[in-house]
A and B are shown apart, each in its own frame.
Chain A
Amino acid sequence: MSGSAISDLLLSVDGVTIDYSGFKALDNFSMTLNRGETRVVIGPNGAGKSTLCDTIIGRVRPSQGRVLFKGEEIQRLPEQQIVARGICRKFQAPGVLPTLSVRDNLALAARKDRRWWKSFGIGIPADEKLAVEEALESVGLTHRAEVEAGTLAHGEKQWLEIAMVMATGAELLLLDEPTAGMGPAETSRTAQLILGLGDSRTVLVIDHDMSFVEQLAAPVTVMHQGKFLKQGSIAEVRADAEVAAVYLGHTA
């Protein structure tokens, strides 16, 4: 491996097994992500896609294997330390904070000093205010900034959560089904949003919607029964007989 390849490496999931008392949601699974890359993970229900996100952010702990972020092991760190190192996740069901205003949701996400004893104040630093305004603009929620997040439409909640994840400034964004429940126009807009992140962020997207995956034009990793199955462009994956077989319900 050349020197530049090592420095480009951001995340490495290395032989991870997640064992739910006998059922292996991830089974010796490995993958890597380079800085600035966008990667789509697909697979049938129960393939272990969400468990992969859970493992990276520390919601579940592997019984075997390692997760390396910027070359350091993170699979035993407390959740908030994993976030502090630069990983943030959007959940499958929108995880906005319903009784807070849209702006307060984003302000919590954009806050850099998250220690509790620094929370006894009202003012927001100028750079965080700016980050909140930019996030509002990027998802078109500026005119909705003061409403309670719980009253937003479903698609708006999805965008708000994506904006929250972006506003944390995390280098690695995990987007678990960002277009769930969206119509075609909203889906396109979400794709534009992710493409607009450019090379500054590394993005791992889980989605079922093939038109969305095509719009992202990113490399695709296929999972099946907790294992790595295939990797390639969307066209390659589509043409693959093994992939077609698992989606039709046969084990290859």
Chain B
Amino acid sequence: MPDLSRLDPLKPVLPWLLLALGLVAPFALSAYDLNLLARFMAMGILALGLVVIWGHGGILSLGQGVFFGLGGYAIALHMKLADLPSGEIPDFMVWSGRDSLPFWWTPFSSPAFTIAAILIVPTLVGALFSWAVFHRRVGGTYFALITQALALAFSTLIISRQDVTGGFNGLTDFYSVFGFGLASPGTGSGLYWVTLVVLCVAFVALRWLLASRFGILLRAARDGENRVRFLGYSPTPFKVVAFAIAAMLAGIGGALFTLHAGVVSPALIGVVPSIEMVVWVAIGGRYSLAGAIVGALLVNLARDAVSSAFPELWLYLMGALFIFVVTLLPRGLAGLVKGRAT
């Protein structure tokens, strides 16, 4: 069995420590703080995907917000419809002068369709998009720029189609999900447990994936795409599958985040939030699954603390942190821990 400890220096202590904290949190935190933690954990699910594509695949995506948004809007459409008396349409549509639902809203009244859409739509979009780029052998910085353009186009599209998307304000005012009232404390802690379970399952599955031959080939293609190609492998499918997995995790994270936050909007999924997602992982350690979770939690905690007191300061602080980490700690906080251990 390949030894992953080289790639994941925090193994094996940190994942168990994180799990212990995750199990204790519902009994130690207030409902408000638990909700905050659950949001950050949903972001941690997205961060795991970035470890796969960026850390192990060498593919920098500045467009993870798109997939986060696809998952978030899918669940938001469902909740909007679930709260409506029959025959009515959401209030923002009325204000925009519409008198009927767009056809593509209708299937989201089904919980099964919604869950399937959360899992499948981001994955499929990610797979098709990355295949279109990678099979033409476009990569590196060009790929990063194309993903950034994708994030810009997606958030612009949502803002411009206010009558069917809610526009700049996004979608909010949800009251229930799958029959559970969102105001009840039981639902809040239930959603927390769901998020914790999803995070753990994703962590374990990716740990296996990165140790498998797939993970070895992904790193091989990152370090020597030509060598891999001239050993008889086609590198494209490995990169496409990795990107689709990251897109899927971003979509699941986006749906869970929307449930916890009670809102999804272009401000959460555009160019700047997509870059922030990369910063979490850069700070936590892009080669380390546990490091990425820690990065997502810490950066968002810091953001919450700083931006409520000094909102205009946050972007500067994050930029400075990013430069600091990239120049001095290329392996992120995970690399720091490794440095002390060895």
Kindly specify which of A9-17, A39-47, A93-101, A230-238 makes contact with the partner chain.
A93-101
Q: Which of A28-36, A75-83, A217-225 is near enough to bind chain B?
A: A75-83
Given known pairs A84-B232, A114-B233, the reply for A122 and B227 (CB within 8 Å) is no
Are the C-beta atoms of B223 and A121 separated by less than 8 Å? no
Q: Which residue of B lies closest to A149 (CB)?
A: B223
Contact call A116/B212, Cβ cutoff below 8 A: no
Which listed residue (A78, A97, A119) contacts B213, Cβ 8 A? Answer: A119
Tell me the bound Cα distance from A251 to B233 in angstroms.
Answer: 42
Shortest distance from the beta carbon of B80 to any chain A beta carbon, whole Å: 38
Complex interface: stretch among B139-147, B195-203, B234-242, B323-331: B234-242
Q: Which residues of A contact B241 (CB under 8 A)?
A: 116
Hey, which chain A residues are within 8 Å of B233, CB to CB? 80, 108, 114, 116
Counting CB contacts under 8 A, is A89 at the interface? yes
Q: Smallest Cβ distance from A204 to chain B, in angstroms?
A: 15
- The reply to whether A119 and B231 contact each other, CB–CB distance below 8 Å, is no
User: Of B6, B217, B230, which contacts A119 at CB under 8 A?
Assistant: B217
Count A-B contacts at CB 8 Å. 85
> A205 on the interface (CB 8 Å rule)?
no
Count how many chain B residues have C-beta atoms less than 8 Å from C-beta atoms of the other chain: 27
B residues near A120, Cβ cutoff 8 Å: 209, 212-214
A72 to chain B, nearest CB (A): 17
Q: A109 contacts the other chain (Cβ, under 8 Å)?
A: yes
Question: Which residues of A (51-92) have their CB < 8 Å from a CB of B?
Answer: 57, 59, 78-80, 83-84, 88-89, 91
Instruction: Decide if B216 touches A104 in the complex (CB within 8 Å).
Output: yes
For chain B, what secondary structure do more than half of its interface residues adopt (helix, strand, loop), or is it mixed? helix
- Given A114-B232, A116-B234, A119-B214: A97 touches B2 (CB 8 Å cut-off): no
Q: Does A83 lie within 8 Å of B230, measured CB to CB?
A: yes
Judging by beta carbons under 8 Å apart, are B238 and A116 in contact?
Answer: yes
Q: Which residues of A contact B224 (CB under 8 A)?
A: 95-98
Kindly list chain B residues whose C-beta atoms are within 8 Å of the C-beta of A122: 1-2, 211-213
Note all chain A residues with C-beta closer than 8 A to B232. 80, 83-84, 88, 114, 168
Contacts of A83 in B (CB 8 A): 230-232
Pair B227/A91 contact, Cβ less than 8 Å: yes
With A80-B232, A119-B213 known as contacts, the answer to whether A97 contacts B227 (CB < 8 A) is yes
- Contact code string B274-304 (vs A, CB < 8 Å = 1, else 0): 0000000000000000000000000000000
Do A96 and B227 touch (CB < 8 A)? yes
Q: Report yes or no: B229 in contact with A98, Cβ–Cβ below 8 A.
A: no
- Which listed residue (B211, B220, B222, B231) contacts A168, Cβ 8 A? B231
Q: Is the CB–CB distance between B238 and A98 below 8 Å?
A: no
Task: Decide yes or no whether B93 CB sits under 8 A from chain A.
Answer: no
Given known contacts A95-B226, A116-B241, A119-B238, is B216 in contact with A88 (CB within 8 Å)? no
Is residue B120 contacting chain A, with contact meaning CB distance below 8 A? no
Q: How far is the CA of A109 from the CA of B228 in the complex (A)?
A: 9
In angstroms, Cα B209 to Cα A121, docked, is 8
Chain A residues whose C-beta falls within 8 Å of the C-beta of B39 in the assembled complex: none
Against A, the Cβ 8 Å flags (1 = close, 0 = not) of B95-129 are 00000000000000000000000000000000000
Given contacts A97-B224, A100-B220, A116-B237, contact A89 B230 (CB under 8 A): yes
Report Cα–Cα, A88/B229, bound state, in Å: 10
| Shortest distance between the CB of A131 and any CB in chain B (Å) | 13
Complex CA gap A80/B238 in Å reads 14
Of A79, A96, A116, the residue contacting B230 (CB under 8 A) is: A79
Q: How far is the CA of A120 from the CA of B245 in the complex (A)?
A: 13
CB distance from A165 to the nearest CB of B (A): 9
Cα A121 to Cα B212 in complex, Å, equals 5
Residue of B nearest to A104 (CB): B216
Which listed residue (B6, B226, B230) contacts A88, Cβ 8 A? B230
Residues of B within 8 A of A99 (CB): 219, 222-223
Residues in B with CB closer than 8 Å to A114 are 231-233
Closest to A167 in B: B231
Give the shortest distance, in Å, between A182 (CB) and chain B (any CB).
20
In the bound complex, how far is the Cα of B217 from the Cα of A107, in angstroms? 11
Interface centre among B222, B226, B232, B237 (most CB of A within 10 A): B232
Q: Nearest CB to that of B219 among chain A residues?
A: A99
Contacts of B234 in A (CB 8 A): 78, 80, 116
A164 within 8 A of B: yes
Q: What B residues does A95 contact at CB under 8 A?
A: 224, 226-227, 230
* Given known contacts A119-B214, A122-B211, A57 and B230 CB-to-CB distance under 8 angstroms: yes
Residues of A within 8 A of B230 (CB): 57, 59, 79, 83, 88-89, 91, 95
A109 to B216, CA, bound (A): 12
Would you give the shortest CB distance from A108 to chain B, in whole angstroms?
Answer: 6
State the CA gap A123–B19 with chains docked (Å). Answer: 29
Nearest to B222 among chain A residues (CB) is A99
- Closest A residue to B221 by beta carbon equals A97
Mask for B1-19, Cβ within 8 A of A = 1, else 0? 1100010000000000000
Q: What are 10 A-to-B residue pairs whose CB atoms are below 8 Å?
A: A91-B226, A95-B230, A97-B227, A108-B216, A108-B217, A109-B231, A114-B231, A116-B238, A120-B214, A148-B6
Q: Which 3 A-B pairs have the closest CB atoms?
A: A83-B232, A116-B237, A95-B227
- Known pairs A114-B231, A116-B217, A120-B213. 5 more at Cβ < 8 A? A88-B232, A108-B233, A120-B209, A121-B213, A168-B231
